[in-house]
């Protein structure tokens, strides 16, 4: 007997796949690039994605994932749903990290420009008074002429 199961999501991120399996309380083992669930079921890495491989001719025993699902199709749908959640969370985390990195680059650029202005002003004999108002830096340069 054979079955065709269509997946809407390509499992391309190992971290998200492992998070999805963990969320479903499915025990797994890492074997190279593959994720083994039982002796006859695993997610195999190939063609830049994980593919679920199931030997339907193997002895039907108690499956690790049976407590959550009753069929391979429902198991894969559950993994698919949890994978999407894990992937979305990862994308949000990466976007937040990039936002923070961009803010840090901007802060460093402003600080470098501030230091450059102060150095040039001191070289030309100016006195510098610095104030900060609402996130803005204001430099007042003064020089006395004799």
The pLDDT of residue 72 = 82
Q: What is the pLDDT of residue 73?
A: 82
Three-state SS string over 30-68 comes to EECCEEEEECCEEEEEECCEEEEEECCCCCCCCCCCCCC
71: confidence class by pLDDT, cuts 50, 70, 90: confident
Integer Cα distance of 33 and 27 in angstroms:
16
Rounded CA-CA distance 38/17 in Å is 16
Radius of gyration of the chain (CA): 29
Provide the pLDDT confidence category of residue 137 given band limits of 50, 70 and 90.
confident
List the domain boundaries for the chain: 1-146
In this predicted structure, which of 5-19, 23-37, 55-69 has the lowest mean pLDDT? Answer: 55-69
pLDDT of residue 67 exceeding 60, the answer is no
The answer, yes or no, to whether residue 1 has pLDDT greater than 80, is: no
* pLDDT tier for residue 68 given thresholds of 50, 70 and 90: low
pLDDT tens digits for range 75-86: 889 999 999 999
Higher pLDDT, 14 or 72: 14
**Joined tokens for residue 42:** 């695993």
């Amino acid at each position: 007997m054979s079955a065709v199961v269509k997946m809407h999501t390509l499992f391309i991120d190992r971290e998200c796949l492992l998070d999805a399996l963990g969320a479903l309380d499915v025990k797994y083992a890492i074997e190279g690039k593959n994720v083994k669930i039982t002796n006859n079921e695993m997610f195999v890495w190939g063609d830049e994605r994980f593919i679920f491989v199931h030997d339907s001719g193997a002895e039907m025993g108690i499956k690790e994932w049976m407590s959550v699902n009753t069929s391979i199709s429902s198991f894969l749908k559950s993994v698919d749903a949890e994978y999407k959640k894990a992937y979305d969370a990862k994308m949000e985390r990466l976007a937040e990290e990039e936002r923070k990195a961009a803010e840090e680059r901007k802060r460093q650029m402003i600080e470098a420009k501030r230091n450059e202005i102060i150095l040039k002003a001191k070289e030309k004999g100016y006195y510098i008074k610095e104030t900060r108002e609402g996130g803005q830096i204001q430099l007042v340069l003064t020089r006395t002429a004799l």
